[in-house]
Amino acid sequence: MTNFRTGIAALLALSGLVLALGCGSVKAPGTSATPPGRGAGEKIQVTATIAMIGDLARRIGADKVEVKVLLGPGTDPHLYKAREADYRQLDAAHVVLYNGLNLEGKMGNQLVALARTKAAAKRGAVVAVTEIIEKQDPKLLREPEEMAGHYDPHVWFDVSLWMKAAEAIRDTLIEADAANAETYRANATKLLKEMSELHEWCKNEIGSIPRDQRVLITAHDAFGYFGRAYDIEVHGIQGISTEDQASMAGMKSLIDLLVARKVKAVFVESSVPKKNIEALIEGCKAQGHSVTVGGELYSDAMGDSGTKDGTYIGMVQHNVETIVKALK
């Protein structure tokens, strides 16, 4: 986790990106950015860093917005390196939505500077959707000991908390496009109702797993909010960030836990390599305990666009159904 801030600084140094407050735009090397304008009836151009944000923006904005997502299926935001086209897209957007809490890692400083630049030049908004939680009640955010004073960024795994992100998106769109405020409010109200129902469904489904088998082991420690919200014990081979390395001691501890508790399954993630999970399974086998891969979970990315798993609600449902089927 300590690599987050140094990684950000390294990216800025390598890219040669010049961030000048008040200059009116942020230019990546070799680009010529033009301040965005919007004609009457033109859709709000929204750029989201991750799909979990982009899907909520589409639901709330509907036909009043055009949403683009920087990080597609299978992409790890902790390790993502911004491309020249990303800088152009961020600069051209009327609204930029990102998670914050260091999730975007190497893009973090650039997004913060872009927010100041756009605000100074009145060229749109750049919003960290988790900031609303920090302001209202920071105690709701997980601050694991191993993160050295940083919050866990994987907020979307507690649906009740991610509802606050939806509220932040709603308010941002209203501020950017007051003429369609009622549309955004109505769409958000419908979405928030669905999310509230999803939250209760998650609690009931996970609660159906026998207590002694309610153990979720994944490639990296992304499911802390999920575990807290839905009463399931959670362990990751790697830390909160996929930059963190798995330790031999940590692997041995997880193998011992799996064997002692006779846990039936572990889970791979769509955006994280499977090698550590495979090593865990082999370690259990060497101790005479058979563990299977219970399925693939979505952690830092969603499914393909246009599919059920490519929506936030569908992604959560997929994860819960996969976990329950494997562990029950």
Q: What is the pLDDT of residue 38?
A: 67
Of 142, 167, 197, the residue that ends a domain is 197
Q: What is the pLDDT of residue 18?
A: 31
CA-wise closest residue to 61 among 26, 13, 94:
94
- Residues 186 and 44 grouped into a single domain: yes
Measured over the CA atoms of residue 120, residue 124, residue 128 and residue 132, the dihedral's sign is positive
Query: Strand runs (DSSP E) across the chain, as ranges?
Result: 44-48, 65-69, 95-98, 125-128, 215-220, 233-238, 265-269, 292-297
Compute φ and ψ for 164, nearest 5 degrees.
Answer: -65, -35
Q: What is the pLDDT of residue 9?
A: 39
- Residues 20 and 100 grouped into a single domain: yes
Task: Rank 81-85, 191-195, 278-282 by mean pLDDT and report only the highest.
Answer: 191-195
- Residues 90 and 187 grouped into a single domain: yes
Of 140, 175, 197, the residue that ends a domain is 197
- Residues 43 and 162 grouped into a single domain: yes
Q: Give 235-287 pLDDT, tens digit per residue.
A: 988 754 444 455 678 888 899 999 999 999 999 987 677 888 888 999 999 99
217-221 mean pLDDT: 84
CATH of the domain at 214: 3.40.50.1980
pTM of the model: 0.84
Structural domain that includes position 250: 203-327
CA 220/CA 217 separation, integer angstroms = 8
Q: Are 49 and 98 in contact (CB under 8 A)?
A: yes
Is 34's pLDDT higher than 60?
Answer: no
Is 207's pLDDT higher than 70?
Answer: yes
- Residues 297 and 253 grouped into a single domain: yes
- Residues 184 and 213 grouped into a single domain: no
213-230 mean pLDDT: 93
- Residues 317 and 223 grouped into a single domain: yes
- Residues 175 and 267 grouped into a single domain: no
CA 35/CA 94 separation, integer angstroms = 9
The residue written with tokens 């999920």 in the block is: 226
CA 4/CA 63 separation, integer angstroms = 36
Q: What is the pLDDT of residue 19?
A: 32
Total domains in the fold of the chain: 2
- Residues 105 and 130 grouped into a single domain: yes
Q: Is 119 exposed, middle or buried (0-12, 13-18, 19+ CB in 10 A)?
A: middle
Of 162, 197, 232, the residue that ends a domain is 197
> Which residues are registered as beta bridge partners of 216?
234
CB atoms within 10 A of CB 35: 13
- Residues 271 and 139 grouped into a single domain: no
CA 205/CA 208 separation, integer angstroms = 5
Is 4's pLDDT higher than 50?
Answer: no
- Residues 70 and 155 grouped into a single domain: yes
- Residues 101 and 120 grouped into a single domain: yes
